[in-house]
Amino acid sequence: MRRRQVITAIAGAAWAWQLGARAQQPRTPRIGVLALGNPDPEPFWKALRDGLRELGHVEGESIAFDFRSAEGKSDLLPGLAAEMVRAKVDIIVAYQTPAATAAKQATRDIPVVMAGVGDPVATGLVASLARPGGNVTGSSGVVAELAGKNLEALREMLPSVRRVGVLASTTDPFTKPFLEQLELAARNTGVETTPIMVHPAAEFEPAFAQMEREGFEAVIIMATLLRPSTIDLTLKHRLPSISPIKVFAEAGGLMSYSGNLAETFHEAAVYVDAILKGARPGDLPVRQPTKFELVINARTARAFGLTVPPSLLARADEVIE
């Protein structure tokens, strides 16, 4: 849904609340923020706080925060979400699909604002983008179709590539639509993609050793599996890589193709503000990315002995030298 339509819907819902608001002093609303922890949630956390500050909220006065990270251990998310429900937070902001899924399963009453999730309809988080229904809304930072775009960019960087591994999470609800889109794109490009399933809390070394041993020529890495060791392993095992999240290329991965997460992060604050003013989550349309970014790490390309094709350089939104 277009940005203007979403913002108009949010503003309208908030205005309707203002007309009927009671003249009373409410308690300070508590915002629970739940994150998987892969990648580092600090940029999201900062953007959310900055966005709410820009909207006039003062931390400690008009709002308070309860931030919890599973530190990459997805099995901890249900317990952390349940703790927030018991603490009676007013809104849960969930960063990435596993956190949003845990929040939705923990409560049907507390509003849940998604941020940076993958395909919220396919993963069952909302009924539809236009009318999400229930207690969940927000913005999607990644759509399943990005999987195919990542494969296309990888193929353009490595025209001769034929075997690509896909490092995929065993616990992320977004894994299924992501792999389905990759398989569809692979058929159209003549590339063989093979899922390498890992638990996000496990060591990834055996998976990378397997890919090197079995002759894979490159790897696509799901965003929720990004941690410093992931990038180190791509270099150690000589596997050029791409991921649908910008911080991957910024941290040393070869490439990333993703939605604009800065836009997504800021809009989480807009949704929180509207709900605080009385808007119902199920009435607020879910927003998908309108801007996409191709980032190439030229230093990493040189480490692999790769020459970036001029056509790819021309399309890149950022080249890290």
Question: In the prediction, which pLDDT does 90 show?
Answer: 97
Kindly list the structural domains of the chain, giving each domain's residue range(s) and its CATH number in brackets, ordered by start. 3-143+259-291 (3.40.50.2300), 146-258+293-320 (3.40.50.2300)
- What pLDDT score was predicted for residue 6? 55
Q: What does each of the 321 residues of the chain score in pLDDT, given as a tens digit?
A: 555 555 555 555 555 444 444 445 568 999 999 999 988 899 899 999 999 999 999 998 999 999 999 999 999 999 999 999 999 999 999 999 999 999 999 999 999 999 989 889 989 999 999 999 999 999 987 667 788 899 999 999 999 999 999 999 999 999 999 999 899 889 888 899 999 999 998 999 999 999 999 999 999 999 999 988 999 999 999 999 999 999 999 999 999 999 888 888 889 999 999 999 999 999 999 998 888 999 999 999 999 999 999 999 999 999 999
pTM confidence score: 0.85
pLDDT at 17: 46
Q: What is the 3-state secondary structure (H, E, C) of the chain?
A: CCHHHHHHHHHHHHHHHHHHCCCCCCCCCEEEEEECCCCCCHHHHHHHHHHHHHCCCCECCCEEEEEEECCCCHHHHHHHHHHHHHCCCCEEEEECHHHHHHHHHHCCCCCEEEEEEECCCCCCCCCCCCCCCCCEEEEEEECCCHHHHHHHHHHHHCCCCCEEEEEEECCCCCHHHHHHHHHHHHHHHCCEEEEEEECCCCCCHHHHHHHHHCCCCEEEECHHHCCHHHHHHHHHCCCCEEECCHHHHHCCCCEEEEECHHHHHHHHHHHHHHHHCCCCHHHCCCECCCCEEEEEEHHHHHHCCCCCCHHHHHHCCEEEC
Q: Which of 177, 181, 199, 198 is nearest to 124 (CA)?
A: 177
